[in-house]
Chains A and B, each alone.
Chain A
């Protein structure tokens, strides 16, 4: 038995015009997701329209594998953001909040001094894209491990393990410097 969303996906696979309900539902979260990772609203809008165009073009190939449809859209958005930074050779933007910094430094056993913020910038710059995303999703977007798993298409447990390993690695780097 298909859920409402799965029915919408099947309908959209047969007729692209039926993509509207999915587009309306996910436009805002995807737009915000992109906006947090790029410098301007106009750029976020451009990347977002490219994401939905790719989704619509590749929808006939989409298979339901137990992950929510949104995770597929987030994956496309992540890839588009990566492609943008690779082509433009610009600095990767990470949106940080005071609350996020506070909880991250608490996990890293560090104070919130300005030099620690600079060091965090340097350490995050040495990480690969998935690790940066883990930090962003967990600390600056306050997502649960379940949501992180869905966005990164890994299990909840795996998201947890990877985050804690990454924190341990970052803690070591903080202590070394």
Chain B
């Protein structure tokens, strides 16, 4: 739903009125400012997107993951669970 207002029989716009607003030099100035800002923004890379930060973080995460996995196996490798044979357990109950 778009509420609408009618402008009934508007006055035709004069040539002078259009000329008053036409300003190519102002357009070029705005364009240069906008272009400079876009250029500056594209040149400035934020810290979290810098190459060495991304590679460093990936390497650190890989190292942590490797340490966790290898640590798990070093701790539990060979410590197999020794189960009490069933006869002994029955004797204890008796």
Which A residues lie at the B interface, using CB under 8 A?
16-17, 19-20, 23-24, 27-28, 31-32, 35-36, 39, 41, 44-45, 48-49, 52-53, 56-57, 85, 91-98, 117, 121, 124-127, 129, 132
Contacts and interface: CB of A to CB of B under 8 A. Distances in A.
A44 B17 CA distance: 11
A128 B8 CA distance: 21
B4 A125 contact: yes
Contacts of B5: 39, 91-94
Most central of B4, B26, B30, B35 by chain A CB within 10 Å: B4
B65 to A, nearest CB: 43
B29 to A, nearest CB: 10
A23 B24 contact: yes
Given A41-B17, A126-B1, A56 B6 contact: no
A91 B13 CA distance: 22
A92 B28 contact: no
Nearest to A17: B28
A94 B6 contact: yes
Contact of A39 (B7, B9, B24): B7
